[in-house]
Amino acid sequence: MDANAAAQRLNEIDADLDAGRYRKGAWQRFLSDAEALDAAGKAEISDLVSEVSRKLHGRNDFPQVAFVVGFALEVLLLAAGVILVQFDNVFVVLPGVAALVLSLQPTLKIVAGLLLGVRYDYAFLWYFEPRFKMRYGTYFVLDPVLRVIFHIAGSVGTPMAMFVGFMYFLPIDRLMAYVCLVFAAGALAMQVGAFVAEWMGVRNVAGHHLSTLTSPATAAFELKRIMSNAGPR
């Protein structure tokens, strides 16, 4: 498939979306096939990839705000967490740790993405979890190794936040400190488990693609693709 054929398939998906006849799976099949394009071909259709991705995602009608607004709120929450954990009071440190748990992981992933070249369309509420919609064409053109780095960066924030809680609780409340340590270990185990599950071929959980639920699974998916392409031909 060359760039012209890829653009034609994208236009067909776009037309199907407009006509209400889109069938689930067409987008995933396109992305799988489009990975064969070279860098120039991907760059040529990247804007169209972003447009179709935006339209597909828009069908979910998730509440959304501008990316700048959502990111600013994440940074403010992170800053609040950093300030609150400095106090020698359990009832102040506790909400500080909670703020870090909520904000550190998405902030790290967004910053890593921006540094690597990923751009974002908007922030949205995925059921109860704030998330950020990538401008997918900017991810689509990213080197596969950079994709893995991007998703790994989006995997470490929650365990790190809980470990920070352990460190700040330790001098003032050992019970809360060890609770945080247990949760840090649990969060890390879940991240590793998601990576391993995707690597072993577990693709769906509760009706959702595992790679859409958590960054470690997507990192495993991208790493498997790199290794597959690097193998004997």
pTM of the model: 0.87
Q: Which residue has the higher pLDDT, 113 or 203?
A: 113
Rounded CA-CA distance 137/125 in Å is: 21
65 three-state secondary structure: strand
Instruction: Enter the tokens of residue 122.
Output: 């908007």
**pLDDT per position as a tens digit, 160-193:** 999 999 999 999 999 999 999 999 999 999 999 9
Question: Which one of 58-62, 179-183, 196-200, 217-221 scores highest in mean pLDDT?
Answer: 179-183
- pLDDT of 32 > 70? The answer is yes
Give the lowest-confidence range in 7-11, 127-131, 185-189, 206-210.
206-210
In this prediction, residue 232 carries a pLDDT of: 47
The structural domains of the chain, with segments of one domain joined by +, span 1-60, 62-230
User: Strands, DSSP E only, in the chain?
Assistant: 64-66, 120-126, 129-134, 204-205, 208-209
- CB of 85 within 8 A of CB of 100? yes
Q: Are 13 and 25 in contact (CB under 8 A)?
A: no
Model pLDDT, residue 24: 86
CB of 112 closer than 8 Å to CB of 124? no
59, 23 contact by CB (below 8 A): no
| Confidence category of residue 233, pLDDT binned at 50, 70, 90 | very low
Q: What mean pLDDT do residues 227-233 have?
A: 62
pLDDT digits (tens, 9 = 90+) for 92-121: 999 999 999 999 999 999 999 999 999 999
Which backbone phi and psi does 130 adopt, to 5 degrees?
A: -65, 135
